[in-house]
Amino acid sequence: MDNKKTRTSKVKIKYRRSEVISGYLFILPSLIIFVTFMIIPIFMGLYISLTDYDGFKTMNFIGLKNYADMFKDSYFQVSFKNNILYTLFTVPGTLILSLLLAVAVNKGIKGSPVFKTVFFFPYITSMVAVGIIWTLLFNPTVGPINSFLKSVGISNPPGWLLSTKSALPAVMIVTIWKWAGYYMIIFLAGLQGIPKQLYEASEVDGASGITRFFHITLPLLSPTTFLILILLIINSFQVFDLINIMTEGGPGRATNVLVYRIYQEGFKYMHFGYASAEAYFLFAIILIITGIQFWGQKKWVVY
């Protein structure tokens, strides 16, 4: 009897082992691709950031010199400042607009399906097409935006993309316009998950619409808000397409941001070591901000 149990146990162990091996074999192709194109480049980039590699000569290890030079570089400082300004305006702007749109659509106003399509359409539009169209719209001489402003009595409208004062705000406007519809859909999903009984009970108690919004909607929508906030901040530090298409970092350095500066150092000036250092600085910034958000979520996110 004991021998039979032993044989059965050995068969089960062998079967489980074969299952485990089969599982690893199934994920092996994806694992190889992930390691080859993600893990190895991450460590290679980190090593390159510690060298003076320019794509031609042999790598010379220089330690943290690239990181030290970064904070003395006026171009990097301007890019970092521009990125902070871009984040401070586009994140709350997109968050508030997308929330208001979601609330309006969720109310079931007439033509809601059409509004959802119209608001979401900019998100699925090619970034290249968006950049070109808005560049034409912002044209200070023949663009329709300035033509409209002049028609309503503004004799000296902004120069938009040609002015160092208005170029970055113009890019911010396009960013908010493009992304608001996408985050509206996410907010809409969160709103539809809030039990209607809560609104009905509060209405019976005499709560106004504003009271219900601030005491029911916002608290129960906080997990969705938290997710969107993280995504918005990460995206704001990775902006590149619109800058490259609309302004190329100009005029002057008015719209130069971190990712565009990394692109310039790496692919225009061939300073791969320095560009890698800037990229890892950007990674550290995003990691720290995300970590702070996860730490602070306990105080305002209601699950």
10-residue mean pLDDT profile of the chain (303 residues): values are 60 74 89 92 93 85 94 94 97 96 84 81 92 94 93 91 95 96 94 89 86 91 94 95 94 95 94 95 94 89 82
Question: What tokens were used for 83?
Answer: 């990125």
CATH code linked to domain 73-300 = 1.10.3720.10
If you search the block for the tokens 């019976």, which residue do you land on? Answer: 204
Q: At what angle do helices 74-106 and 222-236 cross, to 10 degrees?
A: 150
Distance of CA 35 to the CA centre of its chain: 24
Structure confidence at residue 203 (pLDDT): 85
Closest CA to 276 of 34, 39, 47, 35: 47
Q: What is the DSSP letter of 184?
A: H
How many residues comprise the chain? 303
3-state secondary structure of 164: coil
Structure tokens at 205: 């108690």
Residues 6+ apart with CB under 8 A from 98: 179, 180, 181, 182, 183, 184, 186, 187, 228
- pLDDT at position 16, please? 79
Give the pLDDT of residue 269. 92
